[in-house]
Amino acid sequence: MVRLEKRFVLGGGVFLWFYSLLLYIMFSLYIFYTLTPFRFTTIKDYPHTSTNAYFHHPITSIYNNTCNLFDGRWVKDEDGPLYSNLSRKSIPLNRNCLLNGRNDMDYLYWRWKPEGCHLPRFDSKAFLCHVKGKTMAFIGDSFGRNHIESLLCMLSTEDIPREVYKDEEDKFRTWQFPHHNFTLLFLRSNFLLFGKERIINGSFTGGFHLHMDKLDNNWTQKLPNIDLAIFSVAHWFSRPNYLYKGGKLIGCVNCGEPNLKAFSPGFSIRKAYRVTFEYVNESRKGIVVFLKTFSFAQFENGGWNRGGFCNRTKGFTRENVSFGGDGWKYRNIQVEEIERAKKYGQKSENKFEILDVTRMMLMRPDGHPGEFWKNKSRKGYNDCLHWCLPGPIDTWSEILLHIMIGKNVTPITRL
C-alpha cells in the first residue's frame, strides 16, 4: 500500500513537470509570434492568403445581373487591406502614404458595398486562375499606372511577379507571373491618339498636337498579343491641345486663339475612344476590353499649382456628393462610347465592359496622397489626383475580378 502510494506521487511529479514544460513552450510561441518586436508592418498584413470566395460559392450567388455594382456606399471594414504598406516592394514611394509620414489610418478600413448585391474581397488565387496563360494590358495615363500598381500588390500575395521589361522613361513595363504563365503590361499613352508636344522657342508649352484620326503606335503594335485591355484616359484632354484631321489643323482645346475653332475636351475624349474601339473591333477577334471612367481631382482651396490641398481624413456619404460638372460629362461620354463599341464588337466576338468608378471615388477625398508623396521635382505641391497604396483604389480590382468571373468574361484563345 505504501509502495503504490509512492509510485503515484512520483507519477504525479512527472506529469506536473511535463505539463509545466508544455505550458512554457506554448507561452513562448505566443510571445514570439504575436508580440515580437521584429514585425515591421504598420497595418494588418495578410501575405500569401486567399479568401477563395469565388470558389466556395456558386457564381450566381455572387453576381447578380440586376445589380449595379457602381451604385452603392462605403461601409466600415474591420479587416482592412489585403496587403500592408511595407509588405509589397512594388509600391512606388510616391504612393506609399504611410511610409511618407501619413499618420491617420481610418481611410484603410472601408469597403465598397453595392446596393442589392455582395462584392467579395479580392481573391488573388481566383484572379490568377482566371487569367492563366493570358496577357493583360493597362493602356492609358497615370491612373492606369496607379491601378496596375495596386493590382500587383494584391496579386503578389499569391504569386510574386518578375519584372522583365522597363524602358528608360518608365512608360512601358512588363511583369510575368511564373506560376500562372500570366503577363501584365503597362503601356503609357495619355491620349491613345498620336500626339506630339507643342514646343515654342525650345520650351514645352504644356499642350500637344493631337491627330484625331491616328492612334499611338506605342500601344497598337502590342494589341495582337493582348487578351484583356483596360483603357484609361481623360485628364490630358483639358490641356491647350491643337487638333488635326487628315494632317490639317481643325481647331484647338483651351488655347484661346480667336482664329481657331474651339473644341471642348469632351469632343477629343469621344473621338479618342471611338477611334480606339473601332480599331480594336476591326483588327482583333475575341479580345476583352474594359474602360475605366473618369476619376476627379479633389483639390481644395486652389489647383495643384496654386496651393490646392486634400487633407481630409474622412470620406463623403453618397448624399454629400455632387454629381455634376465637366467630369461627369466626360464620364457620360465614356459610357456612351463603350456601349457603342459593345454593340459593334459582337460581330468580332469582342467583349466590352465598363469600370464605372466615378461615383465611388468622389466619395473618397481621404484616399489621396496629398502632401505625403515625396516627389522631389514637385516639392511644395500636393497630389490630390492619384491614390494611396493601399487605399480605395484597391476596390477597382475587386470589381474587375467580379465582372470577369460573374459575366464569364473570358478572351478567346489566340491562335
Contact of 182 with 128, CB cutoff 8 Å: yes
Q: Residue 28, Cβ neighbours under 10 Å: how many?
A: 10
Residues with a catalytic annotation lie at 142, 383, 386
